[in-house]
Structure 1
């Protein structure tokens, strides 16, 4: 049984993610989909003379609205369960109260699904610098692979997959995950190294590392490429555009706190800015 979590806020992009998760049932005979919906508790921003922080809004009007919202979401989730009761996959729903990121993250770490599929609108500008999106945070912290979806995506058409890396780390776990993706979609893989002005090397050296990785792990149906760009993030997105890729696959190191603020994450940047689906998985 393949377990898939789909964080779901009833938005258009969340529906795209759910449709993608459902379509995976055509490739796997036994799939369990769990829809996670978080109702965020309304908070008061007022601070009294004695100090204090953010507290749940106590007034009756907001309490009544919050109760009505919970009742509505429960009915919507029950309707989804009934709609797919006789499907080729198992679908269940889970309602969580609290912060969206924490609720989703805690559920993922507790249940340990095989895959998370999330809709994403991406972020840019000040929002990206100061806050980032819930999707980006899940990509960074999830112990299992995450696929981010931004438009309606047909699993059956995923035949070109870009795996971007420097190929300096030939870990068995990374190779194993790539093969799972390749087998799932029966896809042509493009292994690409992005050359940048600040981190330049010869094509011969880059191609040598890719060949070593391919030979060590017995990959087949692989095309090796070296792509020149001003940054790794833009190079990955541009290369995927140039070959009209169906999916970008990347590893993320899951840095948090100060280290994340200093070094950032190429994978998270690609998730934010790519119009294509991105499959990320954490590399130890």
Structure 2
């Protein structure tokens, strides 16, 4: 799988890399979607001169221990657990020797934890987290949500969540969800994307919950575009029953390849009562999403 990025013609004398992106963290459970996330991270690392940390978190005690005891071999508990960690490390080490990662600096790390997955993951300081997600709905969403949702909520760096079952991920159209109140995140995201051929589609969702001055919104958008030095962009005010629905509907309508969003990162009671639109979109979208706080 390839993450195709349209770039400016390279400088033949010197390759310029994005100095803001030095470390990309890729959590994995070796599922198909997490391996796709690694492929995407590899392409981003090449384009930005970044290194990758491939991380697998083993929560103690793990169901993997059953593999040792199911063989009928009596081994001490500590020995069995060490075997689980060693096997996981060997598998990761083998994965990164794939020729498609040639020339990249990838560090394979297996960590044991008695905490949850997200807490261990976020102890690793990174400039970008790239992870796969199949989302969460129904009871799972109500009582815990997806790993990606939790990472988006707590991460202090941008998070790129890979979705869907495409063999190749092309970035040609980016939907930028905006409320015209939080626009600083766009500058950072556009610097990272650094793709002049991209079509940026800015969407403001009108839920009819408050009176909106459409002319004022359009003028605000012009100011944002001027600040970001955008000459070619699209802006649309989209009607939706709620913001999440409006973002997802508009993203499918324009056939977006990526959704770019700001997240408040609410936690505790604030999250319980207000939630986060970005987290809801992460759970329900089948289009890749990048969130920034």
- Aligned residue among 275, 284, 289 for 1:264: 275
**2:112 matches 1:101:** no
Cα distance in 2, alignment partners of residues 89 and 208 from structure 1: 44
1:182–1:189 Cα contact (<8 Å) kept: no
What is the TM-score when the length of structure 2 is the normalising length?
0.81
Q: Alignment partner of 1:148: what SS?
A: strand
Please, which runs of 5 or more residues in structure 2 have no aligned partner?
1-18, 64-73
Cα distance in 2, alignment partners of residues 10 and 87 from structure 1: 20
Query: Which runs of at least 4 in structure 1 moved beyond 6 Å after TM superposition?
Result: none
Report which stretch shifted further, 205-214 or 140-149.
Answer: 205-214
Distance apart, 1:35 and its partner CA: 0.1
**2:153 matches 1:116:** no
2:168 aligns to what? 154
Distance apart, 1:84 and its partner CA: 5.2
Cα distance in 1, alignment partners of residues 55 and 265 from structure 2: 22
Structure 1 residues 88-132: Cα deviation after superposition (integer angstroms, max 9, x where no partner) = 32111111111311110112xxxx322110010101112112112
Cα distance in 2, alignment partners of residues 240 and 86 from structure 1: 32
Cα distance in 2, alignment partners of residues 182 and 210 from structure 1: 20
Change over 3 Å in CA distance of 1:272–1:85 after alignment to 2: closer
1:48 aligns to what? none
Cα distance in 1, alignment partners of residues 219 and 181 from structure 2: 11
Cα distance in 2, alignment partners of residues 275 and 20 from structure 1: 16
- Aligned residue among 92, 95, 103 for 1:88: 103
2:250 aligns to what? 239
1:158–1:185 Cα contact (<8 Å) kept: no
Change over 3 Å in CA distance of 1:188–1:43 after alignment to 2: closer
Cα distance in 2, alignment partners of residues 102 and 182 from structure 1: 28
Please, which runs of 5 or more residues in structure 1 have no aligned partner?
45-58
Change over 3 Å in CA distance of 1:154–1:88 after alignment to 2: farther
Change over 3 Å in CA distance of 1:199–1:178 after alignment to 2: farther
Structure 1 vs Structure 2 CA RMSD:
2.3
2:199 aligns to what? 188
Report which stretch shifted further, 207-216 or 248-257.
Answer: 207-216
Cα distance in 2, alignment partners of residues 43 and 125 from structure 1: 26
1:210 aligns to what? 221
Aligned residues: 260
1:27–1:184 Cα contact (<8 Å) kept: no
Cα distance in 2, alignment partners of residues 281 and 43 from structure 1: 32
What is the TM-score when the length of structure 1 is the normalising length?
0.84
Structure 1 residues 168-188: Cα deviation after superposition (integer angstroms, max 9, x where no partner) = 2343xx232132244147411
2:89–2:108 Cα contact (<8 Å) kept: no
Structure 1 residues 60-113: Cα deviation after superposition (integer angstroms, max 9, x where no partner) = 675554333212101112212333597132111111111311110112xxxx32
